[in-house]
Amino acid sequence: MATRTATIASKVGLHARPAALFIEAVNGAGIPVTITKEGGSPVPANSMLGVMAMGAKCGDVVEISSDAEGAEAVLDQLVEFLETDHDA
């Protein structure tokens, strides 16, 4: 299983617009991905309810994982996405 950690950079965290953009990126990747906030349970990264319910705020560290073929490159792109402020 491929796993990466990322620090949330968007000022409002993974809420509303940044969460929707992240989910769009996950869906565009075409592989199953889970996301976990430190101390939490993994949720499907393509679930708006799951992602927003994590309550990930700016500066929080999350872990994204996938066991699909080609996951390494996809996770690298998703880390870059999460570590960019999409509220700027």
- Structural contact between residues 33 and 75, judged by C-beta atoms closer than 8 angstroms: yes
Rounded to 5°, the CA angle 70-72-76 comes to 125
- Indicate if 15 belongs to the active site: yes
Which position among 2, 8, 15, 26 bears the catalytic label? 15
| 3-class SS string, 21-87 | HHHHHHHHHCCCCEEEECCCCCEECCCHHHHHHCCCCCCCEEEEEECCCCHHHHHHHHHHHHCCCCC
Q: Give the catalytic positions in this structure.
A: 15
